[in-house]
C-alpha cells in the first residue's frame, strides 16, 4: 500500500500524506474539535482520545485515517471507513471527516488527502468514494465539485442516535 506521497509546491512547500498512527490521536482529536467549531456542532462532540485511539488503532478497528503534512508537520486528516454497495457488489469508502487547519488551507493538502483516498479506493477495488457535506458549506461544495464530485440527487440522510437508537435497540 503506497500511501506516503510527496508533492513539491511553489516556494518549496512539501505536502506528504501518510497513514495515521496511534501517536496522531491527539492531533486528530484537536482537529475534530476545530471541525465541529467550524460546522457549528461543538455541542455534539463527546469524543475522547482514548476511544479514538482504540477505534482507529485497537484490536478491532472501525475506521482509518490519513494525515496530511506540510513540510513534515501534520496539518490535516481524512477519517474514513468501508461501506458496501449491494447494487455494485463492491466495497466503497465513506469519508467521515476531511479537515485541514484554517491557517494551512489553500496549499493543496485537502486535494492531496482526497487524491490519496481515491487511490486507496481504487487499489482496494472499491466502486465509490462517498461523503456528506453541510448544505451551507459553499467553500467545501465548490472544492468537491472542482474535483468532479457531484451531489447524489433524490437521497436524504437519516440517522438514529441517542435515546431513539437506544429505544429501538432495546425494543423486543
Q: Which domains does the chain have, with CATH numbers?
A: 5-170 (3.40.630.30)
Q: What is the pLDDT along the chain (172 residues), one digit of tens a residue?
A: 445 455 554 555 899 999 999 999 999 999 999 999 999 999 999 999 999 999 999 999 999 999 999 999 999 999 999 999 999 999 999 999 999 999 999 999 999 999 999 999 999 999 999 999 999 999 999 999 999 999 999 998 899 999 999 999 997 6
Contact between 64 and 19 (Cβ < 8 Å): yes
pTM (two decimals): 0.89
Q: Which residues are catalytic?
A: 144
Give the DSSP letter string of 91-156: EEEEEEEEEE-GGGTTSSHHHHHHHHHHHHHHHTT-S-EEE---TT-HHHHHHHHHTT----TT--
Amino acid at each position: 500500500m503506497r500511501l506516503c506521497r510527496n508533492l513539491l509546491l511553489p516556494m518549496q512547500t512539501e505536502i506528504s500524506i501518510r497513514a495515521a498512527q496511534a501517536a496522531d490521536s491527539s492531533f486528530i482529536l484537536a482537529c475534530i474539535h476545530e471541525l465541529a467549531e467550524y460546522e457549528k456542532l461543538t455541542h455534539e462532540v463527546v469524543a475522547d482520545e482514548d476511544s479514538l485511539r482504540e477505534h482507529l488503532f485497537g484490536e478491532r478497528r472501525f475506521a482509518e485515517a490519513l494525515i496530511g503534512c506540510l513540510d513534515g508537520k501534520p496539518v490535516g486528516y481524512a477519517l474514513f471507513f468501508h461501506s458496501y454497495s449491494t447494487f455494485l457488489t463492491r466495497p466503497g469508502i465513506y469519508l467521515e471527516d476531511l479537515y485541514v487547519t484554517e491557517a494551512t488551507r489553500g496549499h493543496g493538502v485537502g486535494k492531496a488527502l482526497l487524491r490519496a483516498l481515491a487511490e486507496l479506493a481504487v487499489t482496494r477495488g472499491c466502486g465509490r468514494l462517498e461523503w456528506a457535506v453541510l448544505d451551507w458549506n459553499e467553500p467545501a461544495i465548490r472544492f468537491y465539485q472542482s474535483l468532479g464530485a457531484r451531489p447524489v440527487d433524490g437521497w436524504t440522510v437519516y440517522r438514529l442516535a441517542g435515546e431513539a437508537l437506544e429505544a429501538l435497540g432495546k425494543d423486543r
